[in-house]
Structure 1
Amino acid sequence: MGSIGLPDKDSADIYLVVATRDELLTQQQANSDEWRGVLPAEAYVRRETYLYSQELTRDGGMTPWVLVHQPDPKGPRQILCGCESIRKRALVARDGQIEDVISHGVCSVFCSPDKRGRGYAGRMMKEMAQRMEHWQLDNGKSSPFSILYSDIGKDFYALRGWQAFPSAHVSVPALATTTPADVRLLKNEDIAELCALDEKLVRQKLYKLKTSNRTTVAIVPDHATIAWHHARDDFVANELYGKTPSVKGIMVGDRPGSRIWMYFTRVWTYLQEDCPNTLHILRLVIEDESLLDFSPASSADADKLEGTDVVRAIAACLQVAQSEAALWDMKDVTIWNPTSATLAAARSLDPKAAVVEREHESIASLNWYGSGSVTDIDWVCNEKYGWC
């Protein structure tokens, strides 16, 4: 038996259900103290409502879930904990064959303090793992994988099916500088076309992978996904400064086929945490296929690439990002899972720049439902744009 008023986590009267509008609002109000960051609670709830209206999330693109206790099917139900899922377009490649699939990102896992320590979140995530395999798919189809980003280390979600994948980053400090002459500032109207081109480039790269007995997966870096991050950025900036950022990214070069660009988003830190305000690079795109690299950064390879054209171009982008970060009270610029070229570019701007392996927060995790083992999966383009 559980404590008075609260059921045992294994009770047959506990169910995972899609939250009603009122239940979603109850969850948002409950988690606002921990997640609202620099926003007042009222503005935080408005932001969450706004984010449900974006191209990525509207019309069922985002689903609110709650684990409830309901002994009487016709009676009231008590919320024990909750989370959300976001539908994401994804690609699965093996032996030169590419499949378009639907994946889901699980996020906003929250249990109110008075209900913690009773195993409710663990039960919810176990049931979510099963639900996500077939959620929003017809005719008996299944999704090959789902993802999440853990802020509580690697073990809790791994026990429920989501195995930790490489979660590294490199950072350079915010710094007001002049914009190099060959850099183009990207605005909202530029993003959709570039995202469409980026998707083509990713497909071309995946098609040419011939790694035996391994499967490669990627979340599609489409416009809906990038725009969702920018909407979040715009909302908070408008609340804090009364204006929205016009610069959404940076491009070096003007000849199609040889350009390099990146999109970014600004994150103002939670008041309760020590981490600084950070400008996150959502996605780095290198148009020249011969320069594309899915390999993780190594210090030795970064040394070899020092001074090359690709490193200078990435450094120019990061330099402008540093200036944009300083303009919006950010403390640093961070890019996830950097390549050796990116590490070399960061070092050219800050000799102390180094790859940091995250062990406790924003741990990229993947639950594989397809054939074979998750140990045979390579998750590429695992950058900030996939976060939810």
Structure 2
Amino acid sequence: MGSTELPHKDSPDVHLVEATEEESIAQQHANSAEWQGQLDLDAYLRRETVLINQDLTRDGGLTTWVLVHQPENGPRKVLCGCESIKKKALLARSGKVEDVVAHGIASVFCEAKHRGKGYASRMMSELGKKLKSWQAGNGSSAFSVLYSDIGKEFYAAHGWQAFPSAHITLTPTASFNAQGLPAARVLADKDIESLCTLDEEITRRRMAQNAKSNRPAVTLIPDHRTLAWHYAREDFFATEKFKKTSSDRGAIVGDWAGTRAWCYWTGVWPTHAEVDPNILYILRIAVEDESFADFEPASEHGIDAIKDSPSVKAIAAVLAKAQAHASEWNMHQIQIWNPTSATVAAVQLLDSNATVEHREKESITSLRWYGEEDAKDVDWVMKEKFAWC
């Protein structure tokens, strides 16, 4: 084979391996042309360094993978690459809730000169098998997830079942009349860690209800490390482009245990500013009320049953704060992923015309299940934006 000829994807000299530091940096340079967006190359590379060194990702939390061609007597050549991030997760089944290992897959990239050769397919096939035992101690990972921006078919063909992926949108406004809603206040960094701890306790109790079902249920945990990673991403861009950051991380209603509801948010500025909107994403909506345990996707029946509840009004109040924050930061819309009936009812208190949109191409929530059941028989709950990577 000539020095410029590319190997067949099934060549025995093609392997999936952990990237060296030099290969990781080379991958960042390679994908920068498509992903750096409004950042210049230097800023993009610095942002990637910042994100790799968060609590979630440092010390082995993030692994960079590369598919390489490495003939016995020749140099190693990278064909494509991706990343995996170790995630805390819960599995509810057979009457109990277990702490399990899961992985989020990100940054799947193949240079244009290597495309059309099947390398990404080979990489994902190898990665799916590798992650079953990766960083799982003496056991195995329960599942891995990814968010496809190329539709549902490619990753499904390699083991990641596409799940329903929906969102509801609100318009930013600084002038909403919150009459009839409870008072809400904004959250700062100092508030987040304790609320994440409380949210995890609530999630465990509610997952225990799912454990009574015949179907396994899984969720990623919205812990402080995960939120801090999102905030670091937002803060880096805001500092680079606006020379400032926001101290507002979300909003909360209620001061007493058992009565609170809150949300976390993060701003995302698009890769292509001229065609795509600035979006304030609601990372997570949490409700402390023990009677509130709805993991189901929104439905007309569910909305009608809960629309007059205090929880719905509390959610509406924190989302009204999000509208004001988004307006202040010149965001074009607010998105809430995979809303429950309570969330839709709350949004419709603020905008009666708001409806749920179902995505078919971008940010498709996809899960590979390592249990005996088919992935279609697993309930993936809390598919909110916090879980994206």
1:202-233 C-alpha deviation (Å, 9 max, x unpaired): 00111122444210101011111111111111
- Counterpart mapping for 1:10-159 below 5 A: 10-72=10-72, 75-139=74-138, 141-159=139-157
Q: Quick one: which amino acid aligns to residue 299 of structure 1?
A: E
CA shift, 1:2, in A, is 10
Aligned-pair CA distance for 1:176:
1.7
C-alpha spacing 1:285/1:45, structure 2 compared with 1 (3 Å): same
Following TM superposition, the consecutive aligned residue runs of length 4 or more in structure 1 with deviations greater than 4 angstroms are 1-4, 178-181
Conserved? CA contact 2:289–2:311, under 8 Å: no
**1:12, CA displacement in angstroms?**
0.8
The separation in 1 between residues aligned to 2:349 and 2:3, in whole angstroms, is 58
TM-score, length-normalised on structure 1? 0.96
Task: Give the aligned residue type for 1:130.
Answer: K
Partners of 1:147 and 1:20 in 2: how far apart? 24
Measure how far apart 1:38 and its partner are.
1.6
**TM-superposed deviation, 1:304:** 4.3
Counterpart residue number, 2:337 = 336
Give the Cα separation in 1 of the matches to 2:209 and 2:348. 31
What TM-score do the two structures reach when normalised by structure 2?
Answer: 0.95
Deviation at 1:10, TM superposition (A): 1.0
Give the aligned residue type for 1:86.
I
Q: CA deviation at 1:21?
A: 1.1
Unaligned residue ranges in structure 1 (runs of 5+): none
Any idea what SS the aligned residue of 1:208 has?
A: helix
Map 1:301-320 onto structure 2 (within 5 A): 301-320=302-321
1:351–1:207 Cα change, 3 Å: same
Verify the 8 A CA contact 2:38 2:273 in the aligned structure 1. no
What's the offset of the Cα at 1:273?
Answer: 7.6
Q: Per-residue deviation at 1:306?
A: 3.3
For 1:275 and 1:290, locate their aligned partners in 2 and report how far apart those are by CA, in whole Å.
39
Residue deviations 1:231-262 (CA, integer Å, cap 9, x gap):
11111111111111100010011111110000
Provide closer, same or farther for how the CA distance between residues 237 and 326 of structure 1 changes in structure 2, counting only shifts above 3 A: same
Change (3 A) 1:272 1:250: closer
Whole-Å separation in 1 of the counterparts to 2:35 and 2:176: 35
Quote how far apart the aligned CAs of 1:303 are. 3.8
User: 1:95, 1:209 within 8 Å by CA — same for their partners in 2?
Assistant: no
Deviates further, 92-101 or 53-62: 92-101
Cα distance between partner residues in 1 of 2:224 and 2:122? 34
1:151–1:363: 8 Å Cα contact kept in structure 2?
A: yes
The reply on whether 1:277 has 2:278 as its aligned counterpart is yes
Question: What percentage of residue pairs aligned between the two structures are identical?
Answer: 54
Q: 3-state DSSP class of the match of 2:144?
A: strand
Q: Deviations over 1:121-151 (max 9, x none)?
A: 0000000000000111233x21111111100
Deviation per CA, 1:243-297: give whole Å up to 9, x if none: 1110001001111111000001110011178331100011100000202210111
The answer to whether structure 1 residue 229 and structure 2 residue 230 are counterparts is yes
Structure 1 partner of 2:254: 253
Q: Does the 8 Å CA contact 1:297/1:340 hold for their aligned counterparts?
A: yes
Rounded Cα–Cα distance in structure 2 between residues aligned with 1:304 and 1:345: 13
SS of the counterpart of 2:367? strand
Distance 2:290 2:165 in 1: 24
Shift of 1:5: 2.2
Q: Which moved more, 1:204-213 or 1:339-348?
A: 204-213
1:77 Cα deviation from its structure 2 partner: 1.1
Any idea what the Cα deviations from partners look like across 1:87-119, whole Å, max 9, x if unmatched? 001110113211111111111000011111110
Corresponding residue of 2:287: 286
CA-CA distance at 1:307 after TM superposition: 3.8
Shift of 1:302: 2.1
- Give the letter aligned to residue 60 of structure 2: G
Question: Which range is displaced more, 192-201 or 348-357?
Answer: 348-357
1:221 alignment partner, SS class: coil
Question: 1:141-190 CA deviation, whole Å, 9 max, x = no partner?
Answer: 21111111100001000010000112111010111237967212101011
**Deviations, residues 31-63 of structure 1 (Å, cap 9, x unaligned):** 112111221121111101100110000000001
Which runs of 5 or more structure 2 residues have no equivalent in the other structure? none
Partners of 2:24 and 2:252 in 1: CA distance = 39
Q: For this pair of structures, how many residues does the alignment match?
A: 386
- Structure 2 CA distance for partners of 1:144 and 1:210, relative to 1, 3 Å: closer
Contact 2:161–2:376 (8 Å) recurs in 1: no
Once residues 274 and 155 of structure 1 are traced to their aligned partners in structure 2, the CA distance between those partners, rounded to angstroms, is 26
State how far apart, in whole Å, the 2-side matches of 1:280 and 1:124 are. Answer: 31
Displacement of 1:301: 3.1
CA contact (8 A) 1:168 1:355 kept: yes
One-letter identity of the residue aligned with 2:313: R
Q: Which residue in the other structure is 2:353 paired with? A: 352
Equivalent of residue 173 in structure 1, options 164, 171, 193? 171
Residue 164 of structure 1 aligns with which residue?
A: 162
Contact 1:96 1:206 in 2 (8 A): no
